[in-house]
């Protein structure tokens, strides 16, 4: 397996938690502490999946997802939004800018692993 998963969040505790969860399941993890650090990494690395927090200072996850979709190397990279917000408006905003899925932080563990595997399987079936 060993796919590279980029996790972007401004909360070091969430970054550490998601990192441990993903590594436990055999993924390689690249942690970015905020949107600007993530964009800097994306200048040189193209992860298999990107997990974004929605609520971050300076540039939120919705804006970052828009930036990700504008880059040729990440235009089809699966993006999972991870947020404490689970209202329909937040979910709709994320999907409008190109997110593949949206997970509430309260359901993070099993749902995140299931979504990553599902998106990677779909990519493999499509030859990407």
Whether the per-residue pLDDT at 76 is higher than 80: the answer is yes
Range of the domain at 25: 4-125
Write the CATH number for 82: 3.40.50.2300
**% of the chain exceeding 90 in pLDDT:** 66
| Cα separations in angstroms, 128 against 10, 61, 70, 100, 112 | 30, 24, 18, 16, 21
Q: What pLDDT digit, counting tens, does each position of 101-128 carry?
A: 998 877 666 777 788 889 899 988 887 6
Which pLDDT score is estimated for 128? 65
Whether the per-residue pLDDT at 43 is higher than 80: the answer is yes
With beta carbons less than 8 A apart as the criterion, state whether 61 and 15 touch: no
Q: How many structural domains comprise the chain?
A: 1
Distance CA 92, CA 26 (A): 31
Mean pLDDT of 52-66: 94
């Amino acid at each position: 397996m060993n796919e590279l998963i980029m996790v972007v969040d401004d909360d070091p505790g969430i970054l550490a938690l998601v990192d441990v969860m993903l590594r436990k399941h055999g993924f390689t993890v690249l942690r970015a502490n905020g949107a600007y650090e993530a964009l800097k990494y994306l200048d040189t690395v193209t992860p298999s999946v990107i997990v974004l927090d929605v609520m971050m200072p300076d540039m939120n996850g919705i804006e970052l997802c828009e930036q990700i979709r504008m880059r040729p190397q990440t235009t089809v990279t699966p993006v999972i939004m991870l947020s404490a917000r689970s209202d329909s408006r937040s979910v709709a905003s994320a999907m409008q800018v190109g997110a593949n899925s949206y997970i509430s932080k309260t359901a993070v563990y099993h749902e995140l692993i299931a979504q990553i595997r599902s998106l990677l399987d779909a990519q493999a079936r499509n030859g990407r």
